[in-house]
Amino acid sequence: AQKITQTQPGMFVQEKEAVTLDCTYDTSDQSYGLFWYKQPSSGEMIFLIYQGSYDEQNATEGRYSLNFQKARKSANLVISASQLGDSAMYFCAMREAGGGKLIFGQGTELSVKP
Amino acid sequence: KAGVTQTPRYLIKTRGQQVTLSCSPISGHRSVSWYQQTPGQGLQFLFEYFSETQRNKGNFPGRFSGRQFSNSRSEMNVSTLELGDSALYLCASSSDRGKHTDTQYFGPGTRLTVL
C-alpha cells in the first residue's frame, strides 16, 4: 500500500538559512508523482513543486528544490534562503499511475526565526 | 485564471443536521477531489469526480456524498452530522489527463464545526 512518511513534526530555521524537510514514500508502482504543498495558518494548500518518478533531474521552483533519491524512496524538500513567510505546515504527497487520490504525509511544521 | 473557490468558508452546525459544501474548480479543470483534514487523522481522501461521475471514493460512511455538475462545479453533502465531522474540508481541481503527473490545486477550504 502506498504511504508517505514525514518524520519531522516540527522544524526551526533561522531567516535566510536553508532547510531540508524530509519525506520518504512507499509504493509498488513504477510510475508515480511526488508533490509538496505548503499550508499556512489560513488553511489553503498551496502547491510548491512536483517530481515525477521518471524525471532524471531534481525539480526546482525558485527557492524550492526537491532532493529526489529514487532508490532510497525519498523526496526531500529544500528551501533556500528561508523567509518569515515560509512559516507554515508542509505536506509531502504522492499520486500513483492512473491519477486518482493524493496520499499525504502527516506534515512538518516549519517555523522561521528572525 | 481564478483559483479554486469554496463556499462557505466557515460553517457551524449542530449534531444531526446536514450540510452542503460547494466547490468551483479552476476554469477548464474537469476533475474535482474532496479531502477532509483533522488534527487526529490528517488529510484523508473523500471522493473524486470527473465529468459528473464519481471516479474514486475513500473510506468514509455513506453519510458523506457528493456530486458534480455539467460545469464541473461540485458539492459535497454530509447528513446526520456528528461531532467527529468537525474538520477543514478541502476541494482540489486538476486538468486531469488521467495521469499521476496531474497537479491538484486546492481551494481555501471550508471549516466546519459541529456542536
In whole angstroms, what is the distance from residue A66 CA to residue A54 CA?
Answer: 14
Q: What is the pLDDT of residue B102?
A: 83
- pLDDT > 90 fraction of chain B, expressed in percent and rounded: 86
Q: What is the pLDDT of residue B101?
A: 76
Per the CB < 8 A criterion, the answer to whether B8 and B108 are in contact is: no
Please, which pLDDT band fits residue B97 given cuts at 50, 70 and 90? Answer: low
Please, which pLDDT band fits residue B98 given cuts at 50, 70 and 90? Answer: low
- Picking from B31, B34, B48, B14, the residue whose alpha carbon sits closest to that of residue A45 is B34
pLDDT tens for each residue of B1-30: 689 999 999 999 999 999 999 999 999 999
pLDDT tens for each residue of B60-83: 999 999 999 999 999 999 999 999
Q: What is the DSSP code string of A65-101? A: EEEEETTTTEEEEEE-S--GGG-EEEEEEEEETT--P
Q: Which residues pair with B4 in a beta bridge?
A: none
The reply to whether A104 touches chain B by the CB within 8 Å rule is yes
Per the CB < 8 A criterion, the answer to whether A58 and A67 are in contact is: yes
In whole angstroms, what is the distance from residue A43 CA to residue A38 CA?
Answer: 9
What does the pLDDT average to over A81-107? 91
Of B92, B94, B100, the CB nearest to A32: B100
Q: What is the pLDDT of residue B64?
A: 97
Chain A residues with beta carbon closer than 8 angstroms to that of B111: 43
Q: What is the pLDDT of residue B34?
A: 97
In whole angstroms, what is the distance from residue A37 CA to residue A106 CA?
Answer: 12
Judged by CB atoms closer than 8 Å, whether chains meet at B43 and A42 is answered as: no
Q: Look at B19 and A29; give whichever has higher pLDDT.
A: B19
The reply to whether B103 touches chain A by the CB within 8 Å rule is yes
Q: What is the pLDDT of residue A2?
A: 85
